[in-house]
């Protein structure tokens, strides 16, 4: 009995102790139910719960009959969750860093209250890989991050690439009192939905990213100057008319549909020798 209590104290200490990963555990049950409702979870779905913690989302998700992949980096929490879930045949607990976790090779969804400290890295893992099978997601994150991912004008090539393939929308903000420990920053719910028809093909993702990275090296410079190393003066003139913008429009003022036009124009009319180089993956 003493050993059991000692073990529980260890888990409790881990849960309540220093929050090095930026993890804030949600305990507001109405919001938990709302998140799952927003994700439209069915029994045929595979759902990844990132930073599963004590299972605040894991177990309500399992009640929908879906397969839940609960990923938790903290050893004590993962052990606690495995013990709690041992009678559930549709919950699979992984003691692993999500950044090294192999995502499902079949279509999947994400419903998660993620560690705020690695928000951008998680989003890159989910959205930047053209082979990702993510269909949609409901993710709780820092409001500032959610705002960056959905803002305009946009100067981040990664975010622009994501938005060629996915719709990103802030659903609502959440008060700090819904979490333990309460975060010192504002929180929000971000909805991710894969576009029925991507604005650029998945096979062209790397070349598109290279183009946008090149053009946004100086985000507020005029479009005509930002693209002059790729297009001839005549091509730039034609492109400006097609985009229905001024030559002096800042390059970061382009919308996703306009970036699509720029890329398609480059693909059709510019010799590959003048395309921006694709960076090799490390």
pLDDT of amino acid 280: 75
According to DSSP, the residues that pair with 175 across neighbouring strands are none
Q: Does the pLDDT at position 133 exceed 80? A: yes
* Domain at 34, CATH number: 3.40.50.150
**282 found inside a domain:** no
Q: Is the peptide bond before 24 cis (omega within 30 degrees of 0)?
A: no
Strand order in the sheet with 187-194: 91-95, 67-72, 46-50, 108-113, 134-142, 187-194, 166-174
Average pLDDT, the chain: 93
Q: Are 162 and 124 in contact (CB under 8 A)?
A: no
Q: Does the pLDDT at position 13 exceed 80? A: no
252 shares its domain with 132:
no
210 shares its domain with 183:
no
Confidence of residue 23 (pLDDT cuts 50, 70, 90): confident
**279 found inside a domain:** no
Q: Does the pLDDT at position 50 exceed 60? A: yes
Average pLDDT over residues 103-118: 97
Percent of the chain with pLDDT over 70: 91
Domain count, the chain: 2
164 shares its domain with 105:
yes
**82 found inside a domain:** yes
Final residue in a domain of this structure, among 194, 218, 249: 194
188 shares its domain with 110:
yes
- Classify 68 as helix, strand or coil: strand
**258 found inside a domain:** yes
Q: Is 26 labelled a binding residue? A: yes
pLDDT of amino acid 250: 98
165 shares its domain with 221:
no
149 shares its domain with 189:
yes
Separation of alpha carbons 43 and 50, rounded Å: 19
Separation of alpha carbons 108 and 113, rounded Å: 17
Average pLDDT over residues 194-215: 98
Domain that holds residue 131: 2-194
pTM confidence score: 0.90
Q: Are 54 and 25 in contact (CB under 8 A)?
A: yes
Question: Among the residues of the chain, which ranges form H helices?
Answer: 2-16, 29-38, 58-62, 75-84, 119-127, 143-150, 157-165, 205-215, 223-226, 233-243, 256-269
Average pLDDT over residues 136-143: 98
Distance of CA 261 to the CA centre of its chain: 25
pLDDT of amino acid 214: 98
228 shares its domain with 92:
no
Q: Is 24 labelled a binding residue? A: yes
**280 found inside a domain:** no
Final residue in a domain of this structure, among 139, 161, 194: 194
Backbone CA torsion sign across 215, 275, 257, 170:
negative
145 shares its domain with 209:
no
**80 found inside a domain:** yes
Q: Does the pLDDT at position 10 exceed 90? A: no
220 shares its domain with 269:
yes
Q: Pick 203 or 280 by higher pLDDT.
A: 203
Average pLDDT over residues 10-14: 43
**183 found inside a domain:** yes
Q: Does the pLDDT at position 8 exceed 90? A: no
- 121 φ/ψ angles, rounded to the nearest 5 degrees: -65, -40
Q: Is 53 labelled a binding residue? A: no
Backbone CA torsion sign across 63, 114, 50, 43:
positive
Average pLDDT over residues 111-125: 97
Q: Is the peptide bond before 141 cis (omega within 30 degrees of 0)?
A: no
141 shares its domain with 19:
yes
17 shares its domain with 104:
yes
* Domain at 251, CATH number: 1.10.8.100
pLDDT of amino acid 20: 42
Q: Does the pLDDT at position 179 exceed 70? A: yes
- Residues 6 or more apart whose Cβ sits within 8 Å of residue 120: 145
Q: Does the pLDDT at position 93 exceed 60? A: yes
217 shares its domain with 163:
no
pLDDT of amino acid 6: 44
**33 found inside a domain:** yes
Q: Is 90 labelled a binding residue? A: no
pLDDT digits (tens, 9 = 90+) for 238-278: 999 999 999 999 999 999 999 999 999 999 999 999 999 99
Final residue in a domain of this structure, among 136, 159, 194: 194
């Amino acid at each position: 009995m003493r050993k059991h209590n000692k073990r529980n104290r260890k888990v409790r200490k881990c849960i309540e102790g220093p929050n090095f990963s930026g993890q804030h555990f949600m305990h507001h049950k109405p919001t938990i139910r709302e998140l799952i409702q927003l994700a439209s979870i069915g029994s045929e779905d595979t759902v990844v719960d990132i930073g599963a913690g004590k299972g605040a989302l894991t177990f309500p998700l399992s009640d929908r009959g879906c397969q839940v992949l609960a990923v938790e980096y903290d050893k004590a929490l993962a052990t606690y969750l495995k013990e709690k879930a041992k009678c559930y045949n549709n919950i699979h607990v992984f003691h692993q860093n999500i950044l090294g976790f192999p995502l499902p090779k079949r279509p999947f969804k994400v419903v998660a209250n993620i560690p705020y400290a690695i928000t951008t890295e998680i989003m890159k893992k989910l959205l930047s890989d053209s082979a990702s099978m993510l269909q949609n997601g409901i993710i709780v994150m820092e409001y500032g991050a959610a705002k960056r991912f959905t803002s305009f004008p946009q100067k981040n090539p990664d975010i622009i690439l994501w938005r060629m393939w996915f719709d990103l929308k802030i659903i609502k903000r959440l008060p700090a009192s819904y979490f333990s420990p309460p975060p010192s920053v504002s929180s929000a719910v971000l909805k991710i939905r894969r576009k029925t028809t991507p604005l650029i093909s998945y096979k062209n993702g790397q070349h598109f990213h290279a183009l946008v990275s090149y053009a946004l090296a100086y985000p507020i410079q005029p479009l005509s100057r930002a693209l002059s190393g790729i297009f001839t003066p005549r091509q730039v003139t034609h492109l400006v008319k097609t985009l229905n913008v001024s030559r002096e429009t800042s390059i970061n003022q382009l919308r996703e549909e306009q970036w699509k036009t720029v890329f398609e124009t480059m693909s059709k009319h510019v010799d590959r020798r003048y395309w921006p180089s694709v960076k090799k993956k490390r």
